[in-house]
Amino acid sequence: MRATYFLDSRFFMAIANVAFVMVLVQGLASDLSGTPFPWAPYTVLIFLTAVSVGFASFLLKSNSGVSPGLGGLAKLLSKPPAKFLVFVAIALVWMVSGLALQPWRVHQVQTFDGIAYFYSYESWYLLSSLAFLLVFLLIPVATSYVQSTRIGDPTASKSVRMISLSWASFGVVALFEEVASGSLAPVEQGIAALANGLLFILIAFAVREPTILSRIMSIGGLGSGTARPLTSSKIRAGSTRSFALDSKPVDLARKSLFSTMLRMRHEEIVGKRLLLEYDPSASYERIVEKFAGEFVANLEPVAVFTSIGSPVHRVLRGQRDVKLFSFSTNTSTPSRQSETEILLPERDASLLLDAVDKLLQAHHGQEVGIAFDVFTDLVLFKGFEKAYAIISSVAEMADAQSATTLVLVNSTALEGRALNAVRGLFTAYLSYGFEGLRVVRAFGGIPARTNGTDGGSIEDGTAASGVEG
């Protein structure tokens, strides 16, 4: 099961929903028994619902990453926002004043199916309820709605916005029930009950969709920064032109760091599927480093899926503009290891697919580079058929967004038939060992037959210059 985006706030969202369901159950029990609705418990449950929504909205805003439940409560109470304290104080005054003064009177009215009951309230209590509603809308509801506009993932943003509007509607419906009176009160209360049911359905769909990966990836993002030319005083005559990427100079020669080894330009590999079969005893991680470095130099987002402690992980960990998705045995849910690294539970293929989906959603319309150093592990853990299905799904998702994929396969771990099946998924097939990098099949299925030149050329069956074994 995928961890929900609302990890920190789900405990309080559950309390709010349970409390409000109890309100609806009380109303149903009152109708079935023909007795007045118990207003004192209703007041307490409305207070509990509103305050729980307040906790949930501020925890959602904080992106604290703390444990749900009492851990989240302790984290928020250790340094509560001033707005939150104001909201809780007003809610507490509303509840205590209502319970102490009981400013309501019960009435009965004859309807077509018997006697129905409704309440009337003193003017000051209706005004206090209106003030409570306004504060509820302006603080917790507005807080969560504003947060929805800052979430990079569109699905999560839509879900948070839907929940915010549903919470606001709950408050409006509750006030509507209070002012309902006279012979139309039972009808108005029935309309309110129907509206509440529909709102619960909306919340159920909203909470179900986004995952915690949406949240993690919306914190800090995956962008490669913004290019800005260095001033002319910093560029010496005859030197290679540079750009500043996140305050660091980028040599334009690096813009084809990987593709030059294939005797191609960067634009020619964009949107393609590349398979790299490697000898695990060779320095294959350097190929992945060059692949990632080329996308960074072109100011394009790049992500690498690997395992904790792998050669690829050791080389790329900590590189500022390369996002790592690292499989680990030490986590059961996705978690942020650092600004550039997200840990995923080992062997969880659904999270791998979810991460790719969220990555592509977050960079819709951009030329994303993705390297996969986990296919061999998937084969060992799940068997070839499942691993093949997973990598096929990844390739299809990447193609739909014109992303460039580089998939690594340990050539010594798979049998010939399995390797041939995998090769059929890719437009280019590379091999890397102690002799260097070879293009076995170029784009379009044509074997590589090029004349050697300096600076990263490849001859058919020979090593690429500039790549050490």
- pLDDT single digits (tens) 427-468: 888 999 888 888 888 765 544 443 333 333 333 333 444 444
Mean pLDDT of 149-165: 75
Helix, strand, or coil (residue 430): strand
Coil, strand or helix at 71: helix
- Name the maximum alpha-carbon separation found in the chain: 97
Q: How far apart are CA 93 and CA 107, in angstroms?
A: 26
Mean pLDDT of 316-320: 88
Q: How much is the average pLDDT of 336-346?
A: 84
Instruction: Please state, rounded to an integer, the average pLDDT across all residues of the chain.
Output: 77
At 208 the pLDDT is 58
Report which of residues 332 and 459 the model is more confident about: 332
Cβ 447 vs Cβ 440: under 8 Å = yes
Cα gap 155→209, rounded to integer Å: 7
> What distance in Å separates the CA atoms of residue 429 and residue 437, rounded to the nearest whole number?
11
Share of the chain above pLDDT 90, in %: 23
Contact partners, residue 39, CB within 8 Å, separation at least 6: 102, 104, 106, 119
Overall average pLDDT of the 10-28 stretch: 79
Res 436: pLDDT: 87
Mean pLDDT, residues 47-62 taken together? 81
Q: What is the 3-state secondary structure (H, E, C) of 263-303?
A: CCCHHHHCCCEEEEEECCCCCCHHHHHHHHHHHHHCCCCEE
Query: Which structural domains are found in the chain, ordered by start?
Result: 10-218 (no CATH), 227-445 (3.40.50.300)
Q: Which residues contact 157 (CB under 8 A, 6 or more apart)?
A: 148, 149, 151
| Average pLDDT score over residue span 281-295 | 93
CA distance 346 to 333: 10
pLDDT band with cut points at 50, 70 and 90 for residue 8: low
Quick one: pLDDT at residue 75?
Answer: 62
- Each residue of 124-154: pLDDT tens digit? 998 999 999 999 999 988 988 888 787 655 6
Please tell me whether residue 434 adopts helix, strand or coil conformation.
coil
- For the stretch 241-250, contacts whose Cβ atoms lie closer than 8 Å and that sit 24 or more positions apart, written own/partner, are 243/299, 245/296, 245/297, 245/299, 245/321, 246/320, 246/321, 248/320, 250/296, 250/297
pLDDT greater at residue 244 or residue 374: 374
Average of pLDDT values for 268-276? 93
Q: Of 153, 143, 9, 33, whose CA–CA distance to 87 is shortest?
A: 143
% of the chain at pLDDT higher than 70: 73
C-alpha 222/C-alpha 302 separation (Å) is 8
Of residues 113 and 86, more confidently modeled: 86
- How large is the average pLDDT for residues 27-41? 79
Please tell me the least confidently modeled range out of 61-70, 254-263, 269-278: 61-70
Mean pLDDT of 326-332: 84
User: Is residue 425 scored above 50 in pLDDT?
Assistant: yes
Residue pair 378/349 in contact (Cβ under 8 Å)? The answer is yes
Confidence of residue 256 (pLDDT cuts 50, 70, 90): confident
- Rg from Cα positions in the chain: 30
> Secondary structure of the chain: what % helix, strand, coil (to 5)?
55, 15, 30
- CA dihedral sign, ordered 319, 325, 329, 330: positive
> Looking at the DSSP assignment, which residues form a beta bridge with residue 326?
306, 343
DSSP E strands in 70-113: the ranges are 104-111
Confidence (pLDDT) at 306: 93
CB 464 within 8 A of CB 436: yes
Please report the pLDDT score of residue 185 as a whole number: 60
Q: Give me the pLDDT at residue 285, please.
A: 94
CA distance 456 to 71: 55
Return the minimum-mean-pLDDT range out of 92-96, 99-103, 249-253.
249-253
Token digits of residue 148: 């929805």
- Across 407-415, average pLDDT: 89
What is the tens place of the pLDDT at every residue in 343-394? 888 777 788 888 888 888 888 889 999 999 999 988 888 888 989 999 999 9
Write down the residue that tokens 């949930």 correspond to: 56
The average pLDDT across 403-416 equals: 90
Residues with Cβ within 8 Å of 27's Cβ and at least 6 positions away in sequence, in order, are: 37, 189, 193
- Name the residue among 50, 84, 89 with its Cα closest to residue 174: 50
Average pLDDT over residues 31-51: 84
Report the pLDDT value the prediction gives residue 316, as an integer from 0 to 100.
93
Place of tokens 């699905």: 155
**What pLDDT does residue 24 have?**
78
Query: Is the pTM higher than 0.85?
Result: no
- pLDDT (0 to 100) of residue 164: 86
Query: Which range has the worst mean pLDDT, 108-122, 131-145, 246-260?
Result: 246-260
